[in-house]
Amino acid sequence: MSILVITGPTAAGKTAVALRLAEQRPVQLISVDSAMVYRGMNIGTAKPEPDTLQRYPHALVDICDPAEPYTVSDFVADADREVAGALERGELPVLVGGTMMYLKAFREGLDAVPRTTDAVREHVARKAVRHGWQALHEELARVDPVAAAAIHPNNPQRLARALEVYELCGKPISSFWGKAQGASARHGVPLVEVMIDVEPRQVLHQRISERLDHMLEAGFVEEVTALRARSDLHADLPSMRAVGYRQVWDFLDGVSGFDLMCEKVLAATRGLARRQYTWLRRWAHLRRFSGGAANELAGHVSKLVGD
């Protein structure tokens, strides 16, 4: 038994290959997508249709509200749980998606840093408002100089996390570093990773454009309108910064017209693809497949993991 990862740039057809694989053998599909975790964000995330999800359930889809935070460590813990369950049932765990930070963290593991609490998180946030991030960086330098040297004062997320850990348990976050365990070691089976690519790049850009047309026809603007109407959501939340959502939100705020909004969504999506390729080029271990129908690609991928 193995763990299979199917990744690649946005709009490459990763989900289609995973679905064809699910038709061929018992699998547990596990989403690796930082936007699909959110309920109510369906069209703009290119989430599979409800009937598809019912027939081929995807773990880690629709698991939290857009107002809630969802971190890399949350993903690794959730993915590990789903992988372990699949292996126990004799199913092939198939992680499919293009959030590369999630994938890297799953593959390499995370240091066993204690999870924070809402009270500690709010306490550190209040200190940042009162004193500023530079002062908090100086505080971190006093209690954990190793972490302070590695974390820039202009990186509030990592800075806050380091101070939260110290407030929580009285230990420097750097004392937890360097103890991560990779996915193969955690689960005791090989990790097989494949990339679905699209060549030439103009073909990928055409797919991105066609997908946006489909999203707009399916009601993408109306979806964001409903989210924007909620009093607990705002444009700076991680969920609302997802590609496409921020641009449509700005359109609804009158920042841009419809045509300019479409151009901005396309530009942001192509930018996402470029960033994904930057990650993918570094990962020489990936088995790369390009071209061919989803059925054909699924057959090639299935041979890599055996029975």
pLDDT band at 157 (very low <50, low <70, confident <90, very high): confident
Mean pLDDT is lowest, of 17-26, 81-90, 108-117, 128-137, for: 108-117
Task: Give me the percent of the chain exceeding a pLDDT of 90.
Answer: 91
Helix, coil or strand: residue 3:
strand
Token pair recorded at residue 142: 């006093």
Mean pLDDT of 144-168: 94
Mean pLDDT of 237-266: 97
Mean pLDDT of 6-14: 97
Q: In the chain, what are the domains? A: 3-110+181-305 (3.40.50.300), 118-176 (1.10.20.140)
| pLDDT of 303 | 92
CA-wise closest residue to 187 among 45, 16, 30, 11: 30
Residue 291, pLDDT > 80, answer: no
Mean pLDDT of 258-276: 98
| pLDDT of 112 | 81
Cβ burial 259-271 (10 Å sphere, 16+ → b, else e): eebbebbbebbbe
Name the amino acid, one letter, at 18.
A
User: pLDDT tens, 17-52?
Assistant: 999 999 999 999 999 999 999 999 999 999 999 999
Task: Give me the percent of the chain exceeding a pLDDT of 70.
Answer: 100
Residue 289, pLDDT > 80, answer: yes
| pLDDT of 171 | 93
Distance CA 79, CA 116 (A): 20
Mean pLDDT of 76-87: 97
Helix (H) or strand (E) holding 6: strand 3-7
Residue 176 burial (C-beta neighbours within 10 Å; 0-12, 13-18, 19+): middle
Residue 307, pLDDT > 80, answer: no
**Residue 253, by phi and psi: left (phi above 0), alpha (psi -120 to 50) or beta?**
alpha
| Higher-scoring residue by pLDDT: 112, 19 | 19
Distance CA 273, CA 8 (A): 9
Mean pLDDT of 129-153: 95
Mean pLDDT is lowest, of 60-64, 213-217, 274-278, 298-302, for: 298-302
| pLDDT of 111 | 86
Q: Supply the mean pLDDT for the chain.
A: 95
The widest CA-to-CA distance across the chain, in whole angstroms, is 59
Residue 243, pLDDT > 90, answer: yes
Q: What is the 3-state secondary structure (H, E, C) of 38-97?
A: ECCCCCCCCCCCHHHHHHCCEECCCCECCCCCCCHHHHHHHHHHHHHHHHHHCCEEEEEC
Mean pLDDT of 296-306: 91
pLDDT band at 147 (very low <50, low <70, confident <90, very high): very high
| pLDDT of 16 | 96
